[in-house]
Structure 1
Amino acid sequence: METIGERIGSACKDSGLSQKALAERLDWDQARLSRVISGSRKVSAGEIAEIATILDVSLDWLITGSDPYWVPKDVAARHDWDGETKEYRHNQEDLDVFRSIALVYKQAYG
């Protein structure tokens, strides 16, 4: 896939989320999302980050098309041990920060 729009469309399909549902979650009309997917409308960095979060794909993949497509679920800044489930929990805000930091490093040093 060559463009961000194509990757958004593909990730929608893979996630089972319809383009209409994604547009609603973004508080956009469906025509706006359709223009993004077709490449006739650009998206801001903030919009791309929000789309990546909703579709649960890596920001790096969405922007560049490079692997990995998915975001590891075990990444965490705060390692909160849940004694009941015997698992570490992650904070979604921390995960989003990690995604952003990884993108900055990739762009600077990649």
Structure 2
Amino acid sequence: MNTLAQRLRELRRARNLNQIDVARAVGVDRSHLSKIETGDDTPGRGALTALSTFFGVSLDWLVTGQELPATAGGIARTEDEVLLLDCWRALPPAEARPLLEMLRQRVAALAPEQVY
């Protein structure tokens, strides 16, 4: 999916939604949404924000097609950090918590001045 129009249309279709339902949910006219999906119109900041929230995607991905992985401390700095975050998100909470505690203990042993 190369364009915002294509990404938006695919998001809507993947969820089996029609344009009327999406337009109502995000507060735009159906005709405006249709024009956005065909690339004949550009959504404003408010519509982009509403669409990204509604579909549960980042504004970065919706606009550019590229996800900018964020962490509590900012943007992930390496591919390993991106991979670590992706793996973490894939784990069930019951498995993730013990791993997080293990990492906290290891960091505390290496750098006692750090608080996590």
**Same fold, TM exceeding 0.5?**
yes
Task: Quote how far apart the aligned CAs of 1:62 are.
Answer: 0.3
Over aligned residues, Cα RMSD in angstroms?
2.4
**TM-score, with normalisation over the residues of structure 1?**
0.55
Task: Quote how far apart the aligned CAs of 1:17 are.
Answer: 2.6
User: What's 1:59 paired with?
Assistant: 59
Is 1:14 aligned to residue 14 of structure 2? yes
Amino acid of the structure 2 residue aligned with 1:38: T
**TM-score, with normalisation over the residues of structure 2?**
0.53
Gaps of 5+ in 2: 69-85, 95-116
Contact 2:5 2:38 in 1 (8 A): yes
Is 1:31 aligned to residue 28 of structure 2? no
Contact 1:9 1:19 in 2 (8 A): no
Query: What's the % identity of the aligned pairs?
Result: 28
Distance 2:32 2:45 in 1: 16
Aligned residues: 72
Task: Quote how far apart the aligned CAs of 1:66 are.
Answer: 1.3
User: What's 2:49 paired with?
Assistant: 49
Distance 2:16 2:5 in 1: 17
Amino acid of the structure 2 residue aligned with 1:34: S
Q: Post-superposition, which runs of at least 4 consecutive aligned residues in structure 1 deviate over 4 A?
A: none
Distance 1:62 1:29 in 2: 19
Gaps of 5+ in 1: 76-85, 87-110
Amino acid of the structure 2 residue aligned with 1:26: V
Distance 1:26 1:49 in 2: 9
Contact 2:28 2:47 in 1 (8 A): no
